[in-house]
């Protein structure tokens, strides 16, 4: 019997005498069905009491294989020998976190906030793991070592290492692996899986096992261990994988026995998930092979097997539960939760320093004096906000099993019903998998790492895969014979040959991890003077030169002057089309001319590439672009710094470049985080969370933020219910504003004197800019030139304005087609939008010059079906930063104004300010007019 529900009450634990002696118990009352059912009591016995004590009302509790009994007419549940207890099952804890927690809960916390440094043991560890995978896939040792060392070239170069000595070092480790693989028992390749992604729906654990051999976990450790037994926390890691493997094995058995029984429910002979777990794990300590046997004794064999019993598995689960319970309240562990000895801990100094500076209780004690109260409060508030983001990511994991395939596909989180077209082995024993798509779209993009599966991402065969191609004609002749393949071939690469039937977005905690390290670095590593301005203890200072930088635009000129003379920071506020990118390029060039080492950053890859493009247009090309191959635009690849290659050359290129360009997310990478700059210039700063901005500004002595807080705000997941298929629900002015408010906005409000408003726009005809200027910029925006002011579609080559219907001949039009909203679509409105587009096209406007913006993905799809691919149809979020000659906006709403686009004026500002020559609003005028601002908009447009 399984019991699962929301905890409503936790009694005090008590000790009772039983036939087995004194035992502890704790009664917990839960309401199942997500808190809707009548209360049920579950008695947790023995060691599970430890977890019971961590419970709080409101948490979710799952008790699997509980024993049922009736007491005084009431049904009760109790833990038995096969029972497992899971706290907050949808909080998906990573196996490496369980390991760290068992070492010391405080270490788990420290790892989280300060991230993995760029250090040789870390990089070497990664290389050895890659080589391990290669060897398992049958690769030759010399090739594997050589290629993997080369792949880490940049990191090794930054660490001052040369390839030969690293290869020598890695080869020692690789020999341990090879020796072990050569042992007679390991012959059947089929029994191996390298790098297996495991996610447990039952226990809320995930991780990537280094290898699974005959169903048993194998973990590789690049350290040495001369004892016979593996280290305890290493065993914990392998046992955690065993726990998940047991769940899978039990499911397979029960599925098989259900089939054997003609579909009837069987619950007698199926083993519990715990009993089905593998009973042996292996730890491979590769450094043992390199130890000099003359100098060191003990057990030097690298491979150490150990047995996994239910006691160990339950221990793992209790540690996992302790993490989930701690994170429920965003509590900071003190170290007292575990029994590690601080004096043996190599993190003791760091631990004491962090505890001292943040004034946190810690088993190791504190050293140093605390940072000011205000900074601690800041750290705390953002820590909580970022952890709320992490919980939102965890909810995304849970959707992998909570949502059915159709629901996931409708939510744009999966591509389902793919038809496998074939697979082939490629370099390094990896696989290329191909399938025919259905023509459906999703948030999955080329270059993403996704879960590829044979139908179910958790219960089926699944592996992490990289999307190489989505759609596009198949180069393979035989797949075109399959009608469904036409134009929709999907190609991914993976370590294992999964039958490709479905792709799911794989939620990643990487960006939350990086926000935390940025917060840590800003508060604990930045010099006092930098923090003074951030925390309002000092006003920013300028040392303005009298030079002219831009002679045809006074505001831009002033912006460059402020930027180059800022001793702390400068802020450039750029409304739509006012030359933000142009000004940014000027600023970067001026800084470089002054001999400064500049970091150029932005929220999106697109903006980073646009900024480089503007630099190139201004004749400057001395830029190094850091980013992945798929993230960087084709024509900017020539600036991209490869990760692989000669260490010294790569490191020199990065360190000597006057300008390094990377997204703010990449600024948190091991490589960029180690660099220092004189100045950081950050574009799209209005869309960045405060810690997201800090990831870039932490790396420089001074910074310039360029953005517009009246356009799209930062995307914050934790406010996004995410299941309604709407876009934009993420931000909309909710009270949890810490992450929703950018550093740019906070600073420009606190220090308007440090900001410059770019007030001349080079995009919209005067008639189009009138409303956005009035409504969102206090009427301060004006066309930069007469040409801009008078723009009209009639000026475009081949366009005959008289061929347009009367209502579309002006620069702004309003079309009210009526119709009814069905969920997030309005088909009649979609028809009207398509008609408007066709009318412009018939008058000679190129379809590539027309864009359609709708508030919801569903309406985007509805309109997209009616138009050919040349017309860009998308949500507001995807239009930020771009423009078109003609823009048609579909509002969808009828009757009332219940949509995120309407709750947030910043989104409507973006939608209205994309058009150069013609803007057509399509919607229900009566519905829109129920809101004051939109009433004015309708008035203006008609
Ligand atoms: N001072 C200037 N003189 C001449 N042209 C300019 C000047 N500043 C900007 N422009 C031109 O105006 C256009 C818009 O500039 P830019 O792309 O930099 O705007 P933006 O503010 O970055 O736009 P968006 O709102 O889309 O981010 C570009 O074609 C650019 O070359």
d(CA 155, CA 523): 26
Q: How far is CA 124 from the centre of its chain?
A: 25
Tokens of 593: 């001319």
Instruction: Find out whether 496 and 454 touch, Cβ atoms under 8 Å.
Output: no
DSSP conformation class of 822: B
Ligand 1, pocket residues at CB < 6 Å:
550, 552-553, 556, 574, 576-582, 762, 881, 883
CA distances from 668 to 93, 613, 727 (A): 22, 24, 27
- Report the nearest atom of ligand 1 relative to the CA of 582: 18
Per-residue pLDDT of 659-668, as tens digits, reads 999 999 999 9
- Report the nearest atom of ligand 1 relative to the CA of 584: 18
Q: Could you tell me which residues come within 8 angstroms of residue 75 by beta carbon, excluding any fewer than 6 positions away?
A: 40, 68, 69
pTM for the predicted model, two decimal places: 0.90
CA distances from 238 to 229, 303, 342 (A): 13, 13, 24
In the reported structure, the alpha carbon of residue 846 is separated from the centroid of ligand 1 by a whole-number distance in angstroms of 22
- Report the nearest atom of ligand 1 relative to the CA of 607: 27
* pLDDT score of 291: 76
Cα–Cα nearest to 314, from 246, 401, 268: 246
Q: Give SS3 for 453.
A: strand
Q: Residues 527-541: what's their mean pLDDT?
A: 93
- Report the nearest atom of ligand 1 relative to the CA of 574: 21
* pLDDT score of 729: 32
In the reported structure, the alpha carbon of residue 761 is separated from the centroid of ligand 1 by a whole-number distance in angstroms of 7
DSSP conformation class of 90: T
Quick check: 86 pLDDT over 80? yes
**CATH code of the region 3-87:** 2.40.50.140
Q: Which of 548, 554, 556, 581 to mutate to test the pocket of ligand 1 (most atoms within 8 A of CB)?
A: 581
Tokens of 411: 């939510």
Quick check: 799 pLDDT over 90? yes
Instruction: Count helices and strands (H / E) in the chain.
Output: 33, 35
Q: Which of 559, 579, 769 to mutate to test the pocket of ligand 1 (most atoms within 8 A of CB)?
A: 579
Instruction: Find out whether 120 and 158 touch, Cβ atoms under 8 Å.
Output: no
In the reported structure, the alpha carbon of residue 864 is separated from the centroid of ligand 1 by a whole-number distance in angstroms of 29
Tokens of 534: 């951030």
Q: Give SS3 for 743.
A: helix
Query: Do the strands 205-213 and 192-200 form a parallel or antiparallel pair, or are they unpaired?
Result: antiparallel
Q: Residues 294-302: what's their mean pLDDT?
A: 78
Tokens of 651: 């490191």
* 502 burial level (CB within 10 Å; 0-12, 13-18, 19+): buried
In the reported structure, the alpha carbon of residue 95 is separated from the centroid of ligand 1 by a whole-number distance in angstroms of 49
Cα–Cα nearest to 502, from 466, 469, 456: 456
* pLDDT score of 857: 82
Tokens of 736: 């949890």
Instruction: Find out whether 576 and 711 touch, Cβ atoms under 8 Å.
Output: yes
In the reported structure, the alpha carbon of residue 869 is separated from the centroid of ligand 1 by a whole-number distance in angstroms of 27
Average pLDDT over all residues of the chain: 89
Res. 240 pLDDT band, cuts 50 70 90 = very high
Instruction: Find out whether 502 and 415 touch, Cβ atoms under 8 Å.
Output: yes
- Report the nearest atom of ligand 1 relative to the CA of 581: 18
Q: Could you tell me which residues come within 8 angstroms of residue 25 by beta carbon, excluding any fewer than 6 positions away?
A: 13, 14, 15, 16, 43, 44, 45, 46, 49
In this prediction, the answer to ipTM > 0.95 reads yes
In our burial notation (b when 16+ CB lie closer than 10 A, e otherwise), range 30-54 reads: bbbeeeeeeebbbbbbeebbbbbeb
Q: At 77, which helix (H) or strand (E)?
A: strand 74-78
Q: Could you tell me which residues come within 8 angstroms of residue 181 by beta carbon, excluding any fewer than 6 positions away?
A: 135, 136
The residue whose CA has the least distance to atom 26 of ligand 1 is 881
In the reported structure, the alpha carbon of residue 80 is separated from the centroid of ligand 1 by a whole-number distance in angstroms of 70
* pLDDT score of 425: 87
- Report the nearest atom of ligand 1 relative to the CA of 913: 25
* pLDDT score of 279: 92
* pLDDT score of 901: 60
d(CA 756, CA 708): 11
Domain extent listing, the chain? 3-87, 99-104+111-195+203-256+271-329, 342-398, 404-475+485-509, 527-720+733-758, 764-941
- Report the nearest atom of ligand 1 relative to the CA of 552: 1
Residues facing 219 on adjacent strands: 283
Cα–Cα nearest to 674, from 641, 646, 698, 703: 698
Q: Which of 548, 556, 582 to mutate to test the pocket of ligand 1 (most atoms within 8 A of CB)?
A: 582
Instruction: Find out whether 646 and 661 touch, Cβ atoms under 8 Å.
Output: no
Instruction: Find out whether 576 and 556 touch, Cβ atoms under 8 Å.
Output: no
Query: Do the strands 21-31 and 303-307 form a parallel or antiparallel pair, or are they unpaired?
Result: unpaired
Quick check: 735 pLDDT over 70? no
Instruction: Find out whether 431 and 465 touch, Cβ atoms under 8 Å.
Output: no
The residue whose CA has the least distance to atom 16 of ligand 1 is 579
- Report the nearest atom of ligand 1 relative to the CA of 881: 26
Instruction: Find out whether 764 and 783 touch, Cβ atoms under 8 Å.
Output: yes
* pLDDT score of 879: 87
Q: At what angle do helices 580-593 and 554-565 cross, to 10 degrees?
A: 40
In the reported structure, the alpha carbon of residue 816 is separated from the centroid of ligand 1 by a whole-number distance in angstroms of 33
Q: Give SS3 for 488.
A: strand
* pLDDT score of 226: 87
Quick check: 737 pLDDT over 50? no
Q: Residues 55-75: what's their mean pLDDT?
A: 90
Dihedral pair phi/psi, residue 566, rounded to 5°: -70, 130
Q: In the CATH scheme, what architecture does the domain 764-941 have?
A: 3-Layer(aba) Sandwich (3.40)
Res. 931 pLDDT band, cuts 50 70 90 = confident
The residue whose CA has the least distance to atom 25 of ligand 1 is 576
Instruction: Find out whether 149 and 170 touch, Cβ atoms under 8 Å.
Output: yes
d(CA 679, CA 695): 13
DSSP conformation class of 817: -
In the reported structure, the alpha carbon of residue 464 is separated from the centroid of ligand 1 by a whole-number distance in angstroms of 41
Q: Residues 128-134: what's their mean pLDDT?
A: 91
**Angle ∠(697,654,562) on CA atoms, nearest 5:** 35
Per-residue pLDDT of 856-888, as tens digits, reads 888 998 999 999 889 999 988 888 878 999 999
The residue whose CA has the least distance to atom 27 of ligand 1 is 881
Per-residue pLDDT of 503-514, as tens digits, reads 999 988 999 999
Q: Residues 198-207: what's their mean pLDDT?
A: 93
Instruction: Find out whether 92 and 132 touch, Cβ atoms under 8 Å.
Output: no
Q: Residues 892-896: what's their mean pLDDT?
A: 74
Radius of gyration for the chain, computed over Cα atoms and rounded to the nearest angstrom: 30
* pLDDT score of 932: 86
In the reported structure, the alpha carbon of residue 835 is separated from the centroid of ligand 1 by a whole-number distance in angstroms of 32
Same fold flag, 527-720+733-758 and 764-941: yes
Instruction: Find out whether 179 and 284 touch, Cβ atoms under 8 Å.
Output: no
Per-residue pLDDT of 655-699, as tens digits, reads 999 999 999 999 999 999 999 999 999 999 999 999 999 999 999
* pLDDT score of 487: 52
Quick check: 264 pLDDT over 60? no
* pLDDT score of 474: 43
In the reported structure, the alpha carbon of residue 582 is separated from the centroid of ligand 1 by a whole-number distance in angstroms of 5
Mapping DSSP onto H, E and C, the string for 502-531 reads EEEECCCCHHHHHHHHHHHHHHHHCCHHHH
Cα–Cα nearest to 404, from 504, 491, 490: 504
Cα–Cα nearest to 934, from 918, 901, 914, 194: 901
Residue 618, CB-side half-sphere exposure with 13 Å CA sphere? 19
* pLDDT score of 459: 84
Per-residue pLDDT of 544-574, as tens digits, reads 788 999 999 999 999 999 999 999 999 999 9
Region of 454 please: left (phi>0), alpha (psi -120 to 50) or beta: alpha
Tokens of 99: 């390991």
Q: Residues 436-445: what's their mean pLDDT?
A: 84
* 206 burial level (CB within 10 Å; 0-12, 13-18, 19+): buried
Dihedral pair phi/psi, residue 670, rounded to 5°: -55, -40
Per-residue pLDDT of 320-368, as tens digits, reads 999 999 999 888 999 998 888 898 888 899 999 999 999 999 999 999 9
Cα–Cα nearest to 95, from 86, 85, 108, 84: 108
The residue whose CA has the least distance to atom 28 of ligand 1 is 579
The residue whose CA has the least distance to atom 23 of ligand 1 is 577
* pLDDT score of 548: 94
Specify the range with the lowest mean pLDDT, choosing from 81-90, 267-276, 737-746, 823-832.
267-276
Number of C-beta neighbours around residue 834 at 10 A: 20
Per-residue pLDDT of 416-435, as tens digits, reads 999 999 999 887 778 899 99
Domain 404-475+485-509 has CATH 2.70.150.10: no
Per-residue pLDDT of 183-199, as tens digits, reads 755 555 547 778 888 99
In the reported structure, the alpha carbon of residue 922 is separated from the centroid of ligand 1 by a whole-number distance in angstroms of 28
Q: Which of 762, 876, 879 to mutate to test the pocket of ligand 1 (most atoms within 8 A of CB)?
A: 762
Res. 715 pLDDT band, cuts 50 70 90 = confident
Quick check: 627 pLDDT over 90? yes
d(CA 429, CA 134): 7
Quick check: 449 pLDDT over 50? yes
The residue whose CA has the least distance to atom 15 of ligand 1 is 579
Q: Which of 550, 577, 773 to mutate to test the pocket of ligand 1 (most atoms within 8 A of CB)?
A: 577
What 834-842 contacts at long range (C-beta under 8 Å, 24+ apart), as own/partner pairs, is 834/863, 834/866, 834/867, 836/808, 836/888, 836/920, 836/922, 837/867, 837/871, 837/888, 839/804, 839/805, 839/808, 840/793, 840/804, 840/808, 840/886, 840/918, 842/803
Tokens of 32: 């199942």
Quick check: 920 pLDDT over 60? yes
* pLDDT score of 485: 37
* pLDDT score of 271: 65
Q: Residues 783-800: what's their mean pLDDT?
A: 96
Q: What percent of the chain has pLDDT over 90?
A: 68
In the reported structure, the alpha carbon of residue 785 is separated from the centroid of ligand 1 by a whole-number distance in angstroms of 12
d(CA 556, CA 761): 11
Per-residue pLDDT of 388-403, as tens digits, reads 999 999 889 989 988 9
d(CA 83, CA 28): 15
* pLDDT score of 863: 95
Residues facing 504 on adjacent strands: 414, 451
* pLDDT score of 185: 54
d(CA 615, CA 596): 16
Per-residue pLDDT of 137-181, as tens digits, reads 888 999 999 999 999 999 999 999 999 999 999 999 998 888 887
Residue 357, CB-side half-sphere exposure with 13 Å CA sphere? 13
Residue 668, CB-side half-sphere exposure with 13 Å CA sphere? 26
In the reported structure, the alpha carbon of residue 770 is separated from the centroid of ligand 1 by a whole-number distance in angstroms of 19
Domain 527-720+733-758 has CATH 3.40.50.300: yes
Instruction: Find out whether 863 and 871 touch, Cβ atoms under 8 Å.
Output: no
Quick check: 413 pLDDT over 70? yes
* pLDDT score of 180: 81
Q: Residues 90-119: what's their mean pLDDT?
A: 94
Q: At what angle do helices 510-520 and 690-697 cross, to 10 degrees?
A: 60
Res. 260 pLDDT band, cuts 50 70 90 = very low
Higher-confidence residue of 727 and 109: namely: 109
């Amino acid at each position: 019997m399984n019991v699962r529900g929301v905890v409503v009450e936790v009694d005090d634990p008590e000790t009772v005498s039983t036939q087995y002696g004194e035992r502890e118990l704790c009664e917990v009352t839960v309401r199942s069905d997500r808190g809707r059912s009548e209360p049920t009591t579950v008695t947790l016995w023995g060691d599970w009491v430890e977890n019971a004590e961590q419970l709080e009302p409101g948490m979710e509790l799952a008790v699997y294989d509980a024993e049922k009994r009736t007491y005084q007419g009431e049904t009760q549940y109790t833990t038995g020998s096969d029972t497992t207890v899971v706290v907050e099952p949808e909080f998906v804890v990573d196996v490496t976190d369980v390991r760290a927690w068992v070492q010391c809960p405080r270490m788990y916390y420290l790892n989280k906030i300060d991230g993995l440094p760029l250090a040789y043991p870390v990089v070497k560890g990664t290389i050895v793991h890659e080589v391990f995978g290669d060897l398992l896939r049958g690769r030759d040792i010399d090739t594997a070592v050589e290629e993997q060392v080369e792949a880490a070239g940049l990191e090794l170069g930054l660490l001052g290492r040369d390839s030969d000595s690293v290869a020598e070092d890695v080869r020692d480790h690789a020999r341990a692996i090879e020796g072990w693989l050569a042992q007679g028992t390991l012959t059947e390749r089929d029994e191996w899986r390298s790098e297996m992604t495991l996610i447990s729906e039952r226990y809320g654990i995930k991780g990537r096992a280094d290898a699974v051999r005959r169903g048993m976990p194998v973990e590789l450790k690049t350290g040495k261990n001369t004892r016979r037994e593996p280290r305890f926390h290493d065993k914990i890691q392998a046992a955690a994988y065993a726990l998940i493997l047991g769940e899978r094995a039990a499911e397979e058995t029960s599925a098989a026995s259900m089939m054997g029984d003609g579909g009837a429910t069987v619950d007698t002979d199926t083993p519990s998930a715990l009993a089905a777990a593998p009973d042996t794990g292996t730890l491979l300590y590769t450094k043992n092979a390199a130890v000099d046997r003359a100098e060191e004794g003990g057990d030097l064999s690298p491979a150490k097997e150990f047995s996994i019993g239910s006691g160990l598995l339950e221990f793992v689960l209790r540690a996992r539960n302790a993490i989930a319970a701690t994170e429920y309240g965003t509590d900071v562990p003190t170290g007292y939760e575990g029994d590690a000895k601080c004096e043996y801990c190599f993190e003791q100094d760091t631990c004491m320093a962090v505890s001292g500076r943040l004034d946190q209780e810690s088993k190791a004690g504190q050293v140093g004096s605390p940072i000011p109260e205000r900074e601690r409060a800041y750290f705390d508030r953002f820590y909580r906000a970022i952890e709320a983001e992490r919980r939102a990511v965890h909810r995304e994991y849970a959707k992998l099993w909570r949502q059915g395939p159709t629901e996931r596909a409708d939510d744009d989180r999966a591509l389902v019903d793919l038809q496998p077209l074939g697979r082939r082995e490629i370099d390094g024993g990896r696989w290329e998998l191909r399938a025919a798509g259905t023509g459906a779209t999703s948030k999955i993009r080329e270059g993403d790492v996704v879960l590829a599966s044979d139908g179910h991402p958790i219960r089926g065969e699944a592996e992490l895969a990289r999307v190489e191609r989505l759609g596009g004609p198949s180069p393979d002749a035989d797949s075109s014979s399959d009608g469904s393949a036409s134009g929709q071939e999907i190609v991914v690469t993976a370590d294992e040959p999964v039958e490709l039937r479905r792709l799911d977005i794989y939620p990643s905690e990487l960006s939350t991890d990086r926000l935390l390290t940025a917060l840590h670095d800003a508060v604990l590593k930045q010099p006092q003077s930098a923090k003074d301005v951030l925390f309002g203890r000092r006003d920013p200072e300028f040392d303005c030169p009298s030079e002219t930088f831009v002679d045809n635009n006074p505001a831009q000129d002033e912006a460059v002057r402020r930027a180059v003379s800022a001793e702390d920071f400068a802020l450039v506020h750029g409304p739509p089309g006012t030359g933000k990118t142009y000004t940014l390029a000027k600023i970067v060039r001026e800084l470089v001319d002054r001999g400064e080492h500049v970091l150029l950053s932005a929220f999106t890859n697109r903006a980073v590439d646009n900024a480089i493009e503007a630099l190139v247009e201004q004749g400057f090309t001395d830029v190094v672009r850091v980013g992945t191959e798929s993230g960087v635009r084709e024509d900017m690849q020539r600036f991209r710094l490869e990760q692989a290659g000669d260490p010294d050359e790569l490191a020199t290129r990065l360190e000597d470049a006057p300008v390094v360009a990377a997204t703010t997310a990449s600024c948190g990478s091991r490589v960029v985080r180690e660099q220092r700059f004189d100045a950081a210039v950050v574009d799209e700063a209005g869309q960045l969370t405060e810690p997201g901005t800090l990831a870039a500004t932490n790396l420089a002595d001074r910074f310039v933020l360029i953005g517009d807080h009246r356009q799209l705000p930062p995307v914050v997941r934790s406010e996004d219910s995410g299941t309604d298929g709407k876009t934009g629900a993420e931000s909309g002015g909710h009270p949890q504003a810490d992450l929703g408010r950018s550093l740019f906005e906070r600073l420009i409000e606190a220090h308007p004197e440090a900001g410059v408003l770019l007030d001349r726009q080079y995009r919209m005809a005067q008639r189009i800019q009138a409303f956005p200027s009035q409504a969102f910029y206090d009427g301060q925006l004006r066309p930069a030139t007469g040409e801009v002011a008078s723009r009209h579609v009639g000026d475009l080559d081949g366009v005959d304005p008289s061929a347009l219907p009367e209502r579309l001949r002006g620069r702004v039009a309003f079309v009210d087609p009526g119709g009814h909203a069905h969920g997030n679509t309005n088909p009649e409105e979609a028809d009207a939008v398509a008609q408007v587009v066709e009318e412009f096209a018939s008058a000679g406007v190129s379809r590539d010059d027309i864009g359609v913006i709708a508030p919801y993905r569903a309406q985007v799809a509805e309109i997209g079906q009616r138009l050919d691919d040349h017309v860009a149809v998308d949500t507001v979020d995807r239009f930020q930063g771009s423009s078109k000659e003609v823009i048609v906006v579909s509002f969808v709403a009828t009757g009332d104004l219940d949509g995120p686009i309407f709750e947030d004026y910043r989104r409507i500002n973006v939608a209205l300010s994309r058009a150069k020559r013609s803007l057509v609003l399509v919607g229900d005028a009566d519905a829109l007019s129920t809101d004051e601002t939109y009433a004015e908009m309708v008035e203006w447009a008609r």
